[in-house]
Amino acid sequence: MAPKLGYWKIKGLVQPTRLLLEYLGEAYEERLYDRNDGDVWRNEKFKLGLDFPNLPYYIDGDVKLTQSMAILRYIADKHNMLGGCPKERAEISMLEGAILDIRYGVSRIAYNKEFETLKVDFLNQLPGMLKMFEDRLSHNTYLNGDKVTHPDFMLYDALDVNLPPIKNYLNSNRYIKWPLQGWSATFGGGDAPPK
């Protein structure tokens, strides 16, 4: 039986996991909850056998996980993508944190009614944040050297054209194009992209 990945019908926190699964060619069943499925989720959440019921969740046989990073790391670990020594694992963890700084920076302002004002400061800081990744990628094929690791999927925009399984997924009907954040976000929310 294929593992089950459950989340809201948005890109959100689980998109890097989807990209990693697609890259690996690992079959999975996706349980998507629409914006009006709050009652459905509340009815199901305590029946799934999850220790900490939450979205996203990932059920792979007797492994039942919640929390996006725990899920991503579990899948990466199953495929020997967490690094081969303490130094590599620490660098991968550092990359996760640096990417999450950007992601959380976007989320912090995306749900704020003052988005237009706050984005100016964020966009001023963004080039410096991205420069660190540019410097690292200038002498590496991937973020952590010559082997793809899960932080690459956290920063997938830099890679989607070069990885055929990701390109295929992005062109499939399973790819969720919108919303980027939750439906109530000032930026990246709603039912359709801005015109």
Taking only the tens place, the pLDDT of each residue in 102-137 is 888 888 888 899 989 998 998 899 889 889 988 998
Q: Do the annotations mark residue 168 as ligand-binding?
A: no
**pTM of the full structure:** 0.81
Binding site annotation covers 125? no
Confidence bin at 81 (pLDDT 50/70/90): very high
Q: What does the pLDDT look like over 21-77, one tens digit per residue?
A: 999 999 999 999 999 999 999 999 999 999 999 999 999 999 999 999 999 999 999
Residue 138 labeled ligand binder:
no
Q: Is 57 annotated as a binding residue?
A: no
The CA distances from residue 30 to 108, 146, 152, 157, in Å, are 27, 30, 22, 22
Q: Is the pLDDT of residue 161 over 70?
A: no
From residue 100, alpha-carbon distances to 49, 56, 69, 104 in Å are: 28, 16, 10, 6
124 is in an annotated binding site: no
Residue 58 assigned to a binding site? no
Helices 86-110/115-137 angle, 10° precision: 160
CB neighbourhood size of 16 (10 A): 24
Tokens of 57: 């969740």
- Establish whether 55 is an annotated binding residue: yes
Q: What is the pLDDT of residues 92-103, one digit of tens each?
A: 999 999 999 888
Q: Which residues of 125-146 are buried (b: 16+ CB within 10 A; e: fewer)?
A: eeeeeeeebeebeeeeebbbee
Q: Which amino acid is at 16?
A: P
178 is in an annotated binding site: no
CB atoms within 10 A of CB 180: 19
Domain definitions of the chain by residue range: 86-161
Provide the token pair at 29.
Answer: 């069943």
Annotation: CATH topology of 86-161: Glutathione S-transferase Yfyf (Class Pi); Chain A, domain 2 (1.20.1050)
Give CA–CA dist 74/190, Å, rounded: 31
